[in-house]
């Protein structure tokens, strides 16, 4: 087992039964609740249930998917906690991907002014992205994570074996965040990722800690997203808007699929505004389109994208805020772009 020690909690990487037993022995609690969706209940719960049997856990199930990351689902979670007379001394174990982790942590942090929680991320996206930083929340009025807070878990337990339960599409979605980490902070990792041709055979036991180390350095330097931490938003200003709009259509996009589009668009902005070399723009574009294909962005939807970008929580004043690349492996934060430049970036993507 590997341990990545943060200031306030550990991230343990290795077999989940071992890390879970160790963690619960160090956490006194009155009751144990487990939050899962129908997928993690079927595929992941059986992997941890034997280690929890002595604690008589109470399973709370919610429907899967970003469309359920809202107050109505939180009401269900809070209702189940109330029905079982949970106190602030109880412990909530969030078993699932980013939706479960974000919403479960939010529900726990606001229940009776805060009960403790553990994260067991079961998707690549949640393992490399949501497991560091304590950002919790839900979506509201199509704006992702617009209601939430910062609060750290007691621990994060990562088992790469859970990746075997993912579809190829889900695995590819999570991989977008690995790509992002390398593009903003580690040129050598970006170059090594380009040698990966099959995600199923990738060395996740090596890739996940390397990706987490990048995020750890950034988050510890800026825990409340006042400056440097905004670097992690590369690809997300445009990507989140596309993702939020697509959720209301018959063809929703997974988070990583939308972020891949956002990284292409924001790499184009980086070329225009930060001098990202054209050769690196082509390299980024070719790599992402080869792995994620091309989505059809309708120009009629551009105003909706711009409106959602205008509501992004990272903005300051009326300006739309970006993190851009002067070159692969480096990033600058608090860069703004006007509607005409953003439209040009969307058109660039559509022209590929």
Question: Is 314 annotated as catalytic?
Answer: no
Query: Exactly one of 69, 144, 216, 240 is catalytic; which is it?
Result: 240
- 214-223 long-range contacts (CB < 8 A, ≥24 apart) are 214/181, 214/182, 214/184, 214/185, 214/186, 214/189, 215/128, 215/129, 215/132, 215/133, 215/181, 216/4, 216/6, 216/132, 217/185, 218/185, 219/132, 219/133, 220/6, 220/7, 223/133, 223/134, 223/150
pLDDT of residue 319: 79
User: Exposure string (b/e) for 224-257, b if CB count within 10 Å is 16 or more?
Assistant: ebeebbbbbbbbbbbbbbbbbbbbeeeebbbbbb
Catalytic residue among 215, 216, 230, 314: 215
Rounded to whole angstroms, the Cα distance separating 263 from 235 reads 4
Q: Say how far apart CA 323 and CA 259 lie, in whole Å.
A: 13
The per-residue pLDDT for 317 is 58
pLDDT, residue 301, reads 96
User: Cα-flanking dihedrals φ and ψ of residue 130, to 5°?
Assistant: -80, -10
- What are the residue ranges of helices labelled H in the chain? 16-25, 38-43, 45-52, 71-83, 98-110, 124-125, 168-185, 187-193, 204-221, 236-246, 255-274, 278-292, 302-310, 339-351
pLDDT at 211 over 60: yes
Residue 251 dihedral angles phi and psi, to the nearest 5°:
-125, 65
240 is catalytic: yes
- Among 150-164, 197-211, 221-235, whose mean pLDDT is lowest? 221-235
Q: For residue 314, what pLDDT band results from cuts at 50, 70 and 90?
A: low
How many residues does this entry show for the chain?
A: 352
Helix axis angle, 45-52 relative to 16-25, nearest 10°?
40
Asked if residues 2 and 19 have their Cβ atoms less than 8 Å apart, the reply is no
Residue 142 confidence (pLDDT): 76
Q: Catalytic residue, from 229, 230, 245, 314: name it.
A: 229
Our answer to whether residue 84 is catalytic in this structure is: no
109: CB partners within 8 A, 6+ apart? 115, 117, 136, 149, 151
| Average predicted confidence (pLDDT) for the chain | 93
Q: Could you confirm whether 229 is annotated as catalytic?
A: yes
The one catalytic residue among 94, 145, 152, 233 = 233
| Residue 61, phi then psi, degrees to nearest 5 | -110, 135
Task: Burial-class residue 65 by CB neighbours within 10 Å (0-12, 13-18, 19+).
Answer: middle
Token pair listed for 225: 């997203």
pLDDT tens track for 99-133 = 999 999 999 999 999 999 999 999 999 999 867 87
Does the annotation mark 327 as catalytic? no
CA distance 276 to 205: 31
pLDDT classification of 265: cutoffs 50, 70, 90: very high
Give the mean pLDDT of 237-261: 94
Q: Is pLDDT at 315 greater than 70 in this prediction? A: no
Among this protein's residues, is 177 annotated catalytic? yes
Catalytic residue, from 39, 94, 145, 177: name it: 177
**Which residue in 135, 144, 230, 314 is the catalytic one?**
135
What's the average model confidence in pLDDT over 234-241?
96
Catalytic member of 113, 226, 278, 316: 113
Task: Examine the pLDDT at 240 and tell me if it is beyond 90.
Answer: yes
Q: Element (H or E) spanning 61, and its range? A: strand 58-62
Question: Is the predicted pLDDT of residue 316 greater than 80, yes or no?
Answer: no
Query: What phi and psi, each to the nearest 5 degrees, are found at residue 27?
Result: -125, 95
Of 41, 236, 245, 314, which residue is the catalytic one?
236
Residue whose entry in the numeric block shows the structure tokens 């209601």: 147
Our answer to whether residue 341 is catalytic in this structure is: no
Res 81 pLDDT > 80: yes
CA distance 242 to 294: 13
Higher pLDDT, 222 or 295: 295
pLDDT at 168: 96
Pick the catalytic residue from 145, 152, 180, 225. 225
Asked whether the predicted pLDDT for residue 54 surpasses 70, the reply is: yes
Comparing 56-65, 111-120, 137-146, which segment has the lowest mean pLDDT? Answer: 137-146
Least confident of 2-11, 23-32, 111-120, 148-157: 2-11
């Amino acid at each position: 087992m590997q341990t990545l020690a943060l200031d306030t909690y550990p991230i343990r990487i290795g077999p989940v039964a071992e890390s879970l037993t160790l963690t619960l022995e160090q956490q006194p609690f009155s009751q144990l609740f487990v939050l899962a969706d129908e997928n993690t209940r079927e595929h992941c719960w059986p992997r941890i249930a034997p280690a929890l049997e002595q604690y008589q856990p109470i399973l709370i199930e919610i429907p899967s998917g970003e469309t359920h990351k809202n107050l109505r689902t939180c009401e269900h979670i809070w209702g189940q906690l109330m029905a079982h007379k949970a106190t602030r001394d109880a412990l909530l174990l969030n078993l699932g991907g980013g939706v479960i982790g974000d919403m479960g942590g939010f529900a726990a942090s606001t229940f009776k002014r805060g009960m403790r929680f553990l994260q067991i991320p079961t998707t690549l996206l949640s393992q490399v992205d949501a497991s560091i930083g304590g950002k919790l929340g839900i979506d509201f009025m199509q704006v992702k994570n617009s209601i939430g807070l910062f609060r750290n878990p007691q621990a994060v337990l990562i088992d790469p074996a859970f990746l075997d339960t993912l579809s190829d599409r889900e695995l590819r979605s999570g991989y977008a965040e690995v790509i992002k980490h390398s593009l903003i902070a580690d040129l050598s990792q970006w170059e090594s990722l380009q040698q990966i041709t099959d995600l199923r055979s990738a060395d996740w036991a090596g890739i996940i800690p390397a990706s987490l180390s990048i995020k750890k350095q950034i988050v510890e330097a800026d825990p409340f997203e006042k400056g440097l931490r905004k670097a992690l938003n590369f690809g997300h200003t445009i990507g989140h808007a596309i993702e939020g709009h697509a959720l209301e259509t018959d063809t929703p996009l997974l988070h990583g699929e939308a972020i891949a589009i956002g990284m292409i668009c924001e790499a184009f902005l980086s070329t225009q505004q930060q001098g990202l070399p054209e050769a690196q723009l082509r390299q980024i574009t070719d790599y992402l389109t080869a792995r994620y294909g091309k989505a059809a962005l309708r120009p009629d939807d551009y105003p909706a994208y711009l409106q959602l970008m205008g509501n992004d929580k990272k903005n300051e004043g009326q300006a739309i805020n970006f993190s851009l690349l002067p070159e692969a492996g480096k990033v600058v934060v608090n860069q703004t772009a006007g509607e005409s430049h953003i439209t040009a970036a969307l058109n660039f993507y559509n022209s590929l």
